[in-house]
Amino acid sequence: MRLFRPLFGALLAALALTALAAVDATPAAAQTATCRPWCIFYGRSGAANCSFVSFEQCKWTAAENTDICMPNGQCPPQSTPPRR
């Protein structure tokens, strides 16, 4: 029986490594989410919604006289492609 003890330990270690290798090592969705660069500030309620990808999309959602679209201060600056 003592002959099988080292073999059993090695087999157990191999199974543990196999189980750990099967774990997904990719980052969570919250860590890889992109920042939405535009926010709408609702004038009547004072609430904010920073889920817009373009200024135009924000303006389409905004009410005519009470809501304001502004850049999201939490996003890193966006690089603009050079004009040709």
pLDDT number for residue 20: 45
The pLDDT of residue 78 is above 90: no
**pLDDT digits over 17-67, tens only?**
445 455 555 555 555 568 999 999 999 898 999 999 999 999 999 988 889
All structural domains of the chain with their residue ranges: 34-77
Please check whether residue 38 is in contact with residue 69, taking contact to mean a CB–CB distance below 8 angstroms: yes
- Compute φ and ψ for 75, nearest 5 degrees: -90, 145
Q: In the sheet that 48-52 helps form, which strands lie side by side, from edge to edge?
A: 48-52, 38-42, 67-71
What secondary structure does DSSP assign to 41-70, as a single string?
EETTT--EEEEESSHHHHHHHS-TTTEEEE
Residues 50, 58: Cα–Cα separation, whole Å: 9
pTM comes to 0.51
